[in-house]
Structure 1
Amino acid sequence: MEFAVSYSTPCFGVDPDRVVAYARHAEQCGFGAFYVPEHIAVHPGATVGTHEIPPALPYADPLDCLAFVAAATSRIVLGTAVLLLPYHHPVVLAKRLATVDVLSKGRMRSLTVGLGTLPGEARAVGVDFGTRGRRADEAIDVLRSLWEGGEEGVSFAGEFFAFEDLCSFPKPHGVTHLPIHVGGSSRAAARRAGRRGDGYFPGGTLTPDERALQWDLARSSAAEAGRDPDALEHTRWGSIDMTEDGVEAFAAQGVTRVVVSATSADPGEQRDQLSAFARRFGLDGT
């Protein structure tokens, strides 16, 4: 089981010293990856489910934030949870992700993508909210095609993206393409993870029965697509105070990575919470 941490810029802020201190302490504790969220734009009255998003929350750009963290750390893997894939042009995104991976010497390896839930956010970037699933599927194909392509160039003709003989360099550091995990709380997301993803990162509000069904659906969708279901990684949100029994229960459900976050906005208490978790599970840095 791998353990990772999330840094919520909306909750903890974007003070550069605090971001770096959190990431460095997580790395020193032995956590394997550092995740940040994304919202490109919100608006008054924007809601996720029954939760209203305060419009002034500081959602930092995730890739810029991760590049900053990469420069201040040496080992911790960089992740998003989630990057809103339909709202990024994949030709531009392929270059940005590969650049962060190269500059971090191969640490942009916990990319998790999702669709987004705010119609106003989609409209703001010129995306038809109803097409974002198909757009995301196509974007994944474009990313991999560009990363894998050589000096002869690659071509693509889809519903949303099209190009001919295109080259994208630099390539990801030492690999053919970067892993792409799919996040979400729907059966469509589970199917997308199986058909196209390298892993599934379901949301935290699912019932146990629905959660089990979606993981089975991800695996069966992988098999139907001719892919190895055992190669899929399974990431889950966990709590900073979770017990060994909780982790064992996750493992029994096929979970391979748990992502936790400090619950306090106070830097000292954050360090104490991460340290206590690391000691409890004997992470390498403790």
Structure 2
Amino acid sequence: MKFAVSYSTAHFEFDPDRLAAYARHAEACGFEGLYLPEHLVLYPGATLHNFEVPPDLPFADPLETLAFVAAVTDRLLLGTGVLLLPYRHPVVLAKQLATIDNLSKGRMRLLSVGLGTLAAEAAATGVDFRTRGRRTDEAIDVLRLLWAGGADGVSYHGEFFEFDDLVQFPKPFGATTLPIHIGGSSAAAARRAGLRGDGYFAGGALLPDERAAQWELVRSTAAEAGRDPDRLEYTRWSGLDMTEERLAAFAAQGVTRVVVSATATDPAEQQDELSEFAQRFLSGGS
């Protein structure tokens, strides 16, 4: 089982020194990586996860922030949970992600993408909210095509993106692609993970039988598409109060990675929370 942490500048103080300390401590504790969320815009009355949120929450850009995290750490993998893919142009995004992966020497490897639930974000970026699923599918294909393409160029002709003979370097660090995990809590997200994803980052508040059905949908969709379902990773959220029994249940369900987040507001207490978790489930705390 792999263990990672998340950090949200919207929930904790937007302070680079505090973020750096959190990331360094997570790395010292032995966590695999750090995830950041994304929201481009908010507005009065916006609702996330069934809760109305203050519109002035400071959601930092996750890619810019992950480049900063890479600079202040040595080993920590960089992740998004989730990047709102339909609102980013894949040609630009492919360049950004490959650049971060090179600057971090191959650590931009926990990319998770999703569709987003706020129609205002789609409108603000000129995207038809109803088409964001199809747009995401094309964007994933374009990302992989550009990363794998050679000096002779690659072409793409889809519903949303179209180009001929494009050449884009640098490539991901020592690779021809980056892993792309699909985040979400719907049947459509599960099918997308099976068809196009390297893994599934399950979200939402679902019952255990619904969770099991979704993961089975991921695997069956992959198998029907001729892909090996055993190669797909399965990431789940958990609280810091996770027990050995809970961990065993996750393993039995096929989970390969657990993501936790500190809940305290005081930086020292946050580090203590991560240390205590690491002492129970990793090789040791710091």
TM, length-normalised to structure 2: 0.98
TM-superposition CA deviations, 1:27-82 (whole Å, max 9, x none):
00000010000001111111135311210000000000000000000001000000
Instruction: Spell out structure 1 runs of 4+ moving beyond 3 A.
Output: none
- Give 1:206 deviation, angstroms: 1.1
| Mapped pair 1:102 → 2:107 | no
Superposed, which structure 2 residues align to 1:181-200 within 5 Å? Answer: 181-200=181-200
Structure 1: runs of 5 or more not aligned: none
- Give 1:223 deviation, angstroms: 0.6
Query: RMSD of the alignment, in Å?
Result: 0.9
CA distance in 2, matches of 1:232, 1:215: 10
Letter of the 2:218 counterpart: A
Give the secondary-structure state (helix, strand or coil) at the position aligned to 1:9.
Answer: coil
TM-superposition CA deviations, 1:208-236 (whole Å, max 9, x none):
11110000000000011110000000000
Flag the 1:96–1:284 CA change in 2: closer, same or farther, 3 A.
farther
Structure 2: runs of 5 or more not aligned: none
| Mapped pair 1:164 → 2:170 | no
8 Å Cα contact 1:111-1:180 kept in structure 2: yes
CA distance in 1, matches of 2:31, 2:14: 21
Superposed, which structure 2 residues align to 1:121-270 within 5 Å? Answer: 121-270=121-270
1:57 equivalent in structure 2:
57
| Mapped pair 1:71 → 2:71 | yes
* Residue-pair matches, total: 286
8 Å Cα contact 2:78-2:107 kept in structure 1: yes
CA distance in 2, matches of 1:110, 1:252: 23
Flag the 1:245–1:102 CA change in 2: closer, same or farther, 3 A.
same
- Give 1:24 deviation, angstroms: 0.1
8 Å Cα contact 2:49-2:204 kept in structure 1: no
CA distance in 1, matches of 2:34, 2:94: 20
8 Å Cα contact 1:114-1:182 kept in structure 2: yes
Flag the 1:285–1:108 CA change in 2: closer, same or farther, 3 A.
farther
- Give 1:285 deviation, angstroms: 5.9
- Give 1:284 deviation, angstroms: 5.7
2:85 equivalent in structure 1:
85
8 Å Cα contact 1:262-1:270 kept in structure 2: yes
CA distance in 2, matches of 1:50, 1:148: 40
8 Å Cα contact 2:276-2:285 kept in structure 1: no
CA distance in 1, matches of 2:285, 2:239: 20
